[in-house]
Amino acid sequence: MAWIRSEGGFVNERLAAARSGVSAAAADRGLFAAEDVPSEAVVAVPLACCIAVATRDAPPGARLEHELALRLLVEASDAASPFAPYLATLPRDAAAFPVTWASAELARLFPDPGDPLPVAVAAERAAADAAWAGGISARFAAS
């Protein structure tokens, strides 16, 4: 929150940065209302705090998520990155990402077949499999 404010942004004083969840490793990170917030602005994030990718520079067929992941890796590799305060808040453990969870665990936690999280994970896994089968693995085989 201090970083957003230092860049000219606004974070309502009624908000607090906190974790939710049963343990720090499995917790969601975010801003939560520490008290009732009447109809007023809660957060204004300046563009200087936004990590974006220029889609016009992306190669044909590139997925925006991949371009963003690459940008995050580039920023994370630079200790002087202006995004270092934000990047420091991101989880470092792959177990925090549902796409890495076993299918059986997802089914146990989300038994409703229409639940959006397992549906999104399945779609992401299918897209990764297709990308691997359609190009990445072929490039490795050719080398």
Better pLDDT: 17 or 10: 10
Q: Which residues pair with 18 in a beta bridge?
A: 30
Kindly report the pTM of this predicted structure.
0.53
The separation between CA 138 and the C-alpha centre of its own chain, rounded to angstroms, equals 29
pLDDT (tens digit per residue) in 57-114: 666 666 777 778 888 888 989 989 988 888 887 777 777 778 888 888 888 888 887 8
The pLDDT score that the predictor gives to residue 102 is 85
Radius of gyration of the chain (CA): 19
Better pLDDT: 27 or 31: 31
Four-CA torsion 88, 89, 94, 100, nearest 10 degrees:
-140
Residue ranges with strand state E in the chain: 10-11, 15-20, 28-33, 43-44
| Amino acid in position 57 | D
**Hunting for tokens 């404010």 — which residue is that?**
5
